[in-house]
Chains A and B, each alone.
Chain A
Amino acid sequence: MNSPKFSDPISRRNVMALFGAGAVTTLLAGCAGPGSTSVSTPAAGSAFTGPATGTVSFYHWRGEDKATFATLIDRFQKQNPKITVNMTITTSNDYLANALPKVRGGGLGDVLPAFRGAQFVQFSQAGVFTDLAGQPVVKDYTPGLISAGLSGSKQDGLPYQLLLIEPIINEDVFNKAGADPNPASWDQTLNSCDKLKSAGYVPIAFPGADSGNSSQLLNSMVLADQPSEDAFTQIEAGKLKVTDDWFLAVLKKYQQLGPYFQPNFLGSSQASARQIFVDQKAGALSTGSYDIATVRQLGGQFPIGMFFPNTLASPKSGWYKGVYNATFILGVNSKSKVKPAALKWIEFLSQKDQAEYYANQTVQWLTLEGLNYTNPDLKKLAPILNEKLSLDEKFLFLNQDIANAVYAACNSAASGVSVNQAAETAQKIIDQARSQ
């Protein structure tokens, strides 16, 4: 029998059969069940053994902190010549939407933060983080502020930033208009807005086209009317509805507040609303303390304060004075090949000197204990952190479609749509999302 030679012809039928077999094999491989990758989390402690060397990928969304982080990376690399930190920054929205599939393989984000709420839960369920419990660095943080980084008994991450989530104000404008920055009731809140409007200012610059920023106001607006502090969780669970009286009352307040936003506010981005504020045409900017650094960079030289839109029917002692959030939950990727070096970078960021540098440069309080804030805005506003504050509740939403439906209802009501119509539209989307 002759053995086949290179020069031997082969029939077209055989070739097609060969390709067919290859395609079927590939398709069968393609039919392997989804989720075949198991979720495993290494035990605490054991994950960080070995030499702290290599290149650490630091993936995050804080573009505004790029220069500060770059300085800290330089300092870190000088102290740790065997470690290199590569920083990758994306926008917050992109990070929220796309970070998980990008970091699961471990190639990106040896050190990475998560937003408090849905993203942190998602990361924890997917086994993205390594348990930090028992690491000495955890003791550097204020115990009451790092619970947002807990997943069961595991300390999956350390919330780094502490923010006030309520409108920032131009105190000069408030003073000129005779408006009260600390209203004790809803009537007083509207009265302050009225005075600002009468004095020719936009009372509140509102980024209506940016759901992430415009929804920050909801945290304050919901406080007096919500039946419980986990109202948003209950909306998502179907136990409460946005068509209930309590939420209609919230929407009614949005409707009353709408005329105090800038004209056509539904089309305004965060940058646009911020510019109105920087130009001293607005009394307040409805975002949060995280915007102070950018306002300063854009040339805002006026004294900045905070404005808590109180929604109480009548003044009540012991009531909240504002809303805060502990976020930027830093953790170590469980798929990282340089975990000891990654932990070293988090430890460095948690050192008093470095943390103070970061805080003062970026105008953000941190959850670390015993820091000395030298930035004038941080120093001035820090006493608010000692008041009774409500935790940012909108991060309780775990489903983005449900959250967006609720935010859209608030903006619609503010723009003049009837509260019932706004609520019914949102509830329909919530019901459909829940039935999936």
Chain B
Amino acid sequence: MTSAGEPDVGVRVMASVQRRRRGRGATRTHWALYLFPVPALALVVAFLLLPLVQSFQYAATDWNGYSATYKSMGLDNFIHAIFNDSLFQNSVVNTLKFTLVVVIVQTMLSLLLAVLLVKNSRLNIVLRSLFFFPTILSSVAVGFIWAFIYDPTFGLMRGLFQMVGLGALSGSYLGDQQAAIYWVAMVQIWFHAGQLMVVFIAGLQLVPQELYEAADIDGAGKWARFRSITWPMIAPATTIVVAYTTIQCFKAFDLILGIAGNPPGTALDILSTRIYTSFANSQYGYASAESIIFMAVIGIVVLLQRWALRLTQARE
């Protein structure tokens, strides 16, 4: 028996079933839908996760890449690479020098080109295509071309220096132990500045014109407009450019091998080429440890960059 105002038992049961069904519907998906990501997951597991796990495992051994046996090394490979291997340390320093120069100069140059060529005039479109052109070349081809340009006897660079009366500055370029990495950094900048200019142009074209009009009314100069409007508004594009350039620098493997040959000398040995040399030297275990350190270095550098860019945004 039910009192007045209380719902009937049948009604309560129905409501309970409906709630349960609603609940089920909200938490359950048709099982066949879960099959859709399986191919992608399988690829990630097979070609990313599995090699990554194996790298950690190999890094703890002295495996030479072909023997049936190996010795467990614990953390010795990591300790040796970080503290006792001057070739590895040299490659870290070279990588950081290369990255620092390329990130700073390439970002500034591509931003400058973007600011100058942002308007869609016919001449600007032609110039954009021209600056973008090197990007479509293969890294190895670029390496070979610049190896000829830097040739100390027949190279174009030597001719250019002599033509402008700076013949004394022409040296051995890629043979110069101190300066070689900067000469290659110049190639990397030539190679990719046009590509990143396009990213900046896309960012610049998204900046609302009203902001510039308001700034004009306020009597802001060109620098004030850039500092207070353009720079903060293109922060997302800058983040992409800096992160992309950094990763590109760490992976400038094919450019280095194209320009300096394999293996490159110590002056041009960056982390990726050093790891490659270790693999070629049948030190798979050690090379795996170097690869893991390489991964950690990239991670740290990218995190630092994100932090620095956030700081800039916060200030703006």
Contact = CB atoms under 8 A, between A and B. Distances in A.
Interface of A: 6-12, 14-15, 18-19, 22-23, 26-27, 29-31, 33-39, 91, 93-94, 96-98, 100-101, 104, 122, 125-127, 208-212, 262-269, 272, 275-276, 399-401, 404, 408, 428-429, 432, 435-436
A19 B174 CA distance: 51
Contacts of A435: 80, 84
Nearest to B288: A34
Given A23-B45, A209-B260, A266 B175 contact: yes
Contacts of A35: 63, 66-70
Contacts of A98: 280
Interface stretch (B24-32, B115-123, B216-224): B24-32
Interface in B263-291: 263, 265-266, 276-277, 279-286
Contacts of B51: 30
A240 to B, nearest CB: 20
Interface stretch (B105-113, B148-156, B191-199, B308-316): B148-156
A399 B281 contact: yes
B138 interface: no
Contact of A268 (B67, B175, B263): B175
6 contacts: A30-B50, A30-B54, A35-B67, A267-B152, A269-B151, A432-B80
B299 interface: no
Contacts of B50: 26-27, 29-30
Given A34-B63, A401-B277, 16 more contacts: A10-B28, A26-B49, A30-B50, A93-B263, A94-B262, A97-B263, A101-B65, A125-B66, A208-B172, A211-B261, A263-B153, A264-B171, A266-B176, A400-B277, A400-B280, A436-B80
A210 B67 contact: no
Contacts of A12: 27-29
A122 to B, nearest CB: 6
Contacts of B24: 9
B2 to A, nearest CB: 35
Contacts of A101: 65
Given A10-B34, A400-B281, A272 B260 contact: no
Contacts of B282: 100, 122
A34 B70 contact: yes
Given A100-B66, A101-B65, A267-B174, A30 B57 contact: yes
Contacts of B284: 34
Given A35-B69, A125-B67, A210-B261, A401 B27 contact: no
A272 B151 contact: yes
A34 B62 CA distance: 10
Interface string B137-171: 00000000001001111100000000000000011
Given A34-B61, A267-B173, A432 B27 contact: no
A404 B263 contact: yes
Contacts of B151: 267-269, 272
In the A-B complex, the 4 residue pairs with the smallest Cβ-Cβ separation, listed nearest first, are: A266-B175, A10-B31, A267-B175, A267-B172
A9 B68 contact: no
A266 B87 contact: no
B304 interface: no
Contacts of A266: 172, 175-176
Contacts, number: 170
A410 to B, nearest CB: 12
B142 to A, nearest CB: 16
Contact of A265 (B54, B58, B172, B276): B172
Contacts of B66: 35, 37, 39, 100, 104, 122, 125-127
A32 to B, nearest CB: 9
Given A30-B54, A429-B87, A432-B85, A272 B153 contact: yes
A404 to B, nearest CB: 7
Interface in B37-66: 41, 45-46, 49-51, 53-54, 57-58, 61, 63, 65-66
Contacts of A27: 49-50, 53
Interface string B173-197: 1111000000000000000000000
Contact of B68 (A6, A37, A429): A37
Contacts of B205: none
Contact of A93 (B28, B61, B171, B262): B262
A429 B90 CA distance: 11
A22 to B, nearest CB: 8
B122 to A, nearest CB: 41
Contacts of B69: 35
Given A27-B49, A101-B65, A34 B175 contact: no
Contacts of A127: 66
Greatest chain A CB density within 10 A among B61, B151, B285 is at B151
B174 A275 contact: no
Contact of B53 (A30, A100, A126, A262): A30
Contacts of A30: 49-51, 53-54, 57
A265 B67 contact: no
B86 interface: yes
Contacts of B152: 263-265, 267-268, 272
Given A10-B31, A12-B29, A97-B263, A432 B84 contact: yes
A11 B154 CA distance: 71
Nearest to A16: B34
B176 A96 contact: no
B58 A209 contact: no
B45 to A, nearest CB: 5
Contacts of A31: 53-54, 57
B266 A408 contact: yes
B283 A436 contact: yes
A127 B286 CA distance: 22
Contacts of B68: 35-39
A35 B261 CA distance: 30
Contacts of B175: 208-209, 264-268
Nearest to B72: A33
B49 A15 contact: no
A33 B70 contact: yes
B29 A93 contact: no
B148 to A, nearest CB: 8
B58 A34 contact: yes
B31 A9 contact: yes
B286 A209 contact: no
Nearest to A8: B31
